[in-house]
Structure formats: C-alpha cells, structure tokens
A and B are shown apart, each in its own frame.
Chain A
Amino acid sequence: MKVVRVLVLVVGFCCAAVPLAWMALSSIKDRADTIHAHPKVLPVPGTPAGDDSIAFAPTLSSWAELAEVHAGAQASFWSHLGNSVIIGILSTLCSVALGTACAYGFSRFRVPGASDWLFFVLSTRFMPPLAVVVPVLLMYRELDLQGTHLGLVLLYTVFNLSLSVWLMKGFLDEIPRAFEEAALVDGYTRMQAFVRVVLPEARTGMAVTAVFCLISAWNEYGFAMTLNSSDAVTVPAYFAGLAGNIEGMPWPQVAAGALVFVAPIVVFTVLVRRHLLRGMTFGTIKQ
C-alpha cells in the first residue's frame, strides 16, 4: 500500500516537474541547442557547438536578454511582466473586494429573489468568454478602453466576479451571524462590525478566492491578445506575439521568461496553501 502511494506521488511529481525542468534547461541553452535534432539535457561547460551528444554548453545570455526588446515586439519582457503584475493585482483586488461585499449582502440580508440572483451571477460563467470577444472589442473601441490597463482590469474583474461571489458566500455563511450581532449590541455599527469582526474571520476565504482570481487573470490569453496591440500587452500575449518573429521564436528567452512568469503564482500559492487546503473543502463542498 505504501509502495503504491509513493509510486503515485513520484509519477505525479514527475508529470508536474518535467516541463518546468525542461524550461529551466532550455533557458540556459543557446537557441541552436533548443531546436537541435538531438535532445540536449546535460549542461557541460565547454561542449563545442553542433556536437551530437546529449551535452550542451550552458549560457546565461537568454536571462540577460530578457531586458532587451526583441524583433517584432515593442518592449522588453520585464515591461510586459509589469503589465501582467499591474493588471493581475488590480483585477484580483477588485474581484475579491466586490465579491466579498456582494456575498456578504447575500449571506446576511434577506434579498428578494436571492437564489435567482446568485444563479444569474453563476450563469455568467456558462458561456466560454471568447464567445463575446468581438462584441467586447467593439465596445472597448467605442469607449477607448482598447489597449489600456484599465480595460483588462475591468474585464478580468467581471470574469472572476462570479467565482468570487460564490466562493465568498460559502465562506461567509460559515461565520456565525452571532459574531456580528454581538458586536452590534456591544456598540458597533454594522460597518464597524463587518470590518472588525467579519473581515478577520473571512481572511482564509479571501486568500483562497484571491489565488483563483489571480491565476485566471495572470494566465488569460484570448482577450489580452485581441484587445491589445501595444501598451498593455501581458506576458502570455507577448510570448505568442514573438512566434511570428523574423528571427524565429527565441526559445531560450521564452523559457527564461516563462520561469519568471510562473514564479509569483507559485510563491503566492505556497504562502496561502494552508488556507487553500482548508478553503477547498470548506467553501466548495457545502454548496
């Protein structure tokens, strides 16, 4: 039994780790080595170029080139990462804040037709988002939101709102009403009770919700690609844009950039993993 468990874990770990390891290897290769007919897996300093063995000469040049502007792009990787950070963080903050406020209302007050409203909120997830890309594009053109940070922040906030409302409602329902009622009788206003009593108790839920919102905003590709040509291009769209490059895809730089790009999500998830585990069973099973 224990052997099976270890085996499953090892296989699972490899499935998750091999692509990352391959990216890490690619990021220290020369471009020619990344598309070499023989897979190169062993970094050996001093290996001659064009060698047919599995060895390759490691180089850090691709990491340095992350700061350079490639042919076919208008800014360096770092400035695109900046776009991703701004858009990801702002939209996550907005989604979690609005979702918490909205869920609190549904959780604590008698809203006429509450279940219908909640279903409507959820139903905005039923359609694949890309189905509305053209109308959104037309609207954004009209409103001059095309190619702006604000445009993507708004869009991602709206997409994540349904998830955020539903998750937060699950969490807030778990916090006893008596917590706030005691505060109300003790001399706090409803708003003060919310800030002093409910929010601290809801931290777990907000952290979990934030992870999910951040991941989906961070990785979004379709809209980032369509609504943007220059100013607010996020990393996924930037990488895709390099594909049509006259010099060919700069694989080592893409690998290095992708590693940098996944790092914040990994760090964030590790930071809140304690909440995440609890939150998965706690927010979702109940619904």
Chain B
Amino acid sequence: MTERALELAGVSKRFGSVEALVGVDLALDAGEFLVVLGPTGAGKTTLLRTIAGLEVPDAGNVRLFGRDAELIAPAQRDVALVFQNFSLYPSSTVRENLAFPLRAPSRRLSAAEIDERVQWAARLLHVERLLDRPAKKLSGGEMQRVAIGRAIVRKPKLFLMDEPLNNLDAKLREELRVELRELARELRTPVVWVTHDQAEALTMADRVALFVAGRVVQTGTPEAVYARPVSPLAARLLGTPPMNVIAVRRVDGAWTTDAGHALARAASVAPERATLGIRPEHVRLEGGAAEAVVLVVEDWGPERVLLARLGTLELHVLAPRDCALRAGDRFRPALDERRIVLWDPAPR
C-alpha cells in the first residue's frame, strides 16, 4: 500500500466565535489532484494554512507523508503554498522572486544549482523573457505564473494552491487551467487546489471535495459528485444552471409536487415524502404529465437555458440550440427517471 500524501482527521479550528474548520477529514493519495470546491468564506484558506503549518489546529490531526505534522515547522514541511492575494515581492525582479525559496539557508544550494532551477521553472511556465523585470511591472497573468513558478521551483512534495487563477480574465484562466493540470501530471506531485470556480473543479480534479461552512460535504470523482450529490447543499455547489431541487410526495405511485403535479414514477418501496433532484440537462421538453410555462430563455451559445414555471415551482431546463420555445410558450417537461436523485425530505 502506498503512503498517503496527506491525511486530515477531525481537524477543527476556530477564530473567536467563527468556526473556520469543523472536524475536517480529508485524504490525498500520492500524485493525486484534489480540488476543494466551496463558496467564499467557507474556510478553504484556513484549511490550506493549517496544512502548511501557518495555523495550528485546535483539535484533530494532520499527517504529511505518514508523519504527524504537529511537530514539523512550516519551513520543514516541504509544501509549497500559492497564496490567494499575495503573489510576489514587488520590489524584487522575477529572477529574485523565483530564487527566493531556493536561497533559504536550510536548503544550501549552490548559485549554479539555483540558477539552473530558476531557468527550469521559468521555461516550464513560459516566463523566461520576464526574468529580469521587476515584479511590480508584470501583468496579472504573468504575476500569477511567476507565483506558481515560486512554488514549483523547489520541487516540493505537495502543492497547496489557494484560488491561484482568481484574479485573471476568463481566457487566461482557461489556458492556465490546462497548462497547470498538465504540469502537475508531469511533476507527479500531489496538489490541493482550492477554488470557488466549479469549472476548475470539473476540469482539473482527480477528486473533488465539496466544502461548506468548514465542513467537507462530499468527496469523490467529479463525475460521481456531479451525478449523485449527497444532499441538496452539495447539489447546489456544482452545476450551472443549478440542479432542480423539488419537494415531492408519493401519490399513486408517482412523485408529485405540493401543487399536485405528477413528475415521475416512484418505486413502491419509496418513502412517502422526499426531496427530488434533477439536473437541467436531464429534463426533456415533451412527454411529461404536467404543463409548464416558459418564463425566460437564455442563449448560452451551444445551448439554451429555459427557466419555466410548473405550478408553484421554478424549473431549469437545458434545451438544444434549435429549440423553438419562447417566453410564454407551454410545454410538458419530463424527467429522465434514471437520473433522478432522491434525498430525505427537508424538515418543515
């Protein structure tokens, strides 16, 4: 059995009355790319800082490569952290910034080695021509590349990335997303990548951890987490347009809304009440029992998103580009029964 790169067991941390981490359990295998996805303020940054050793957990245990991390100083953990809001020392050049981690007295690298590593990292991130430029004269994208360069230059055992693509424009984000994913694969170094951008989670992750209010809500492959969210909360975190979450009752063998519209067949062993989840792309535009009215049609390029009203509830439906429905039109939405996810009913 290979050794786990990282293991968190019951890690908790509070700042005054704010609970930043609540009994977090999380594991990372060697070479794995884990994306922690959660809304702003969920405690994701605290999670990374705790792993890096900048915060000491109030309870629980962090293990790095099989060793209890409690007694390892941040400098000795050999992890690299790319900060969300800090990237570089503004008054130094790119070269100095890249060399800074290598110049740590504990590393004892020769000038030639340092130079070689800086060149290597600069080449990987395509910033060679910027080496002698002062950091404050870089564009946002260049700065972010160099910041990531600072992390890879010392070849750490674990990368911690705190929303590294946050302040970049959409096109650059997409580019870097692909590049960095490739890079992580090449270096075979495990990564904990924190973000609130679900596109990053879906495209980059080997495994996703959904993180809300200091808790890990669900972990799994992006496909599994997308297809079978464990709760309405998890469902809302992943997917645009969002998953439809509908309170239903079982009436005459069919899942029926509160307003009495039958949506789909229910198994006879199913409970009386449930919360039903269905992705917008799994709602067909015809064949359903109940009639819905289109409220809004949004053009998303390759497809259209319909917001429709069915009785009292609002339904997101993903329609093909050639769909002729317009606002005010009526249609009979049908749910793909194999794709329905059922949860316990919401408490009333």
Complex: how many Å from CA A200 to CA B92?
A: 11
Establish whether residues B83 and A189, one from each chain, have CB atoms under 8 Å apart when the complex forms.
no
Binary per-residue interface labels of chain A (171-189) against chain B in the complex, 1 for a CB within 8 Å, 0 otherwise: 0000010110111111111
A179-B89, A181-B54 known; A187-B83 Cβ under 8 A:
no
Establish whether residues B83 and A178, one from each chain, have CB atoms under 8 Å apart when the complex forms.
yes
A residues within 8 A CB of B54? Answer: 181, 184-185
| A82-136, CB < 8 A from B | none
Q: Does A197 contact B (CB under 8 A)?
A: yes
Q: Does A192 contact B (CB under 8 A)?
A: yes
A178-B83, A192-B104, A192-B105 known; A184-B89 Cβ under 8 A:
no
A192-B104, A192-B105 known; A185-B80 Cβ under 8 A:
yes
Establish whether residues B154 and A186, one from each chain, have CB atoms under 8 Å apart when the complex forms.
yes
Establish whether residues A184 and B83, one from each chain, have CB atoms under 8 Å apart when the complex forms.
no
| B116-168, CB < 8 A from A | 150, 154
A187-B104, A189-B75 known; A182-B154 Cβ under 8 A:
no
Establish whether residues B86 and A184, one from each chain, have CB atoms under 8 Å apart when the complex forms.
no
Complex: how many Å from CA A201 to CA B92?
A: 11
Establish whether residues A178 and B86, one from each chain, have CB atoms under 8 Å apart when the complex forms.
yes
Size bin of chain B's contact surface: 20 to 34
Complex: how many Å from CA A186 to CA B155?
A: 11
Tally of contacts, chain A with chain B, CB under 8 A: 59
A residues within 8 A CB of B77? Answer: 185
Q: CB within 8 A of A179: which of B74, B79, B86, B106?
A: B86
Complex: how many Å from CA A199 to CA B212?
A: 39
Q: Does B17 contact A (CB under 8 A)?
A: no
Q: Does B85 contact A (CB under 8 A)?
A: yes
Q: Does B107 contact A (CB under 8 A)?
A: yes
Q: CB within 8 A of A197: which of B76, B89, B150?
A: B89
Establish whether residues A185 and B74, one from each chain, have CB atoms under 8 Å apart when the complex forms.
yes
A182-B81, A192-B104, A192-B105 known; A187-B86 Cβ under 8 A:
no
Establish whether residues B106 and A181, one from each chain, have CB atoms under 8 Å apart when the complex forms.
no
Complex: how many Å from CA A163 to CA B323?
A: 73
Complex: how many Å from CA A199 to CA B106?
A: 20
B residues within 8 A CB of A184? Answer: 53-54, 74-75
Establish whether residues A185 and B86, one from each chain, have CB atoms under 8 Å apart when the complex forms.
no
Complex: how many Å from CA A189 to CA B104?
A: 9
Q: Does B101 contact A (CB under 8 A)?
A: yes
Complex: how many Å from CA A197 to CA B73?
A: 18
Complex: how many Å from CA A88 to CA B267?
A: 90
Chain A residue at smallest Cβ distance from B82: A182
CB distance from A132 to the nearest CB of B (A): 41
Chain A residue at smallest Cβ distance from B49: A181
Complex: how many Å from CA A185 to CA B49?
A: 10
Q: CB within 8 A of A188: which of B52, B53, B104?
A: B104
Interface centre among B74, B81, B83, B101 (most CB of A within 10 A): B74
Establish whether residues A187 and B85, one from each chain, have CB atoms under 8 Å apart when the complex forms.
no
Chain B residue at smallest Cβ distance from A176: B86
CB distance from A286 to the nearest CB of B (A): 19
A181-B54, A181-B83, A182-B83 known; A187-B89 Cβ under 8 A:
no
Can you list 7 A-B contacts (CB < 8 A)?
A: A178-B86, A181-B83, A184-B54, A184-B75, A185-B52, A185-B79, A187-B76
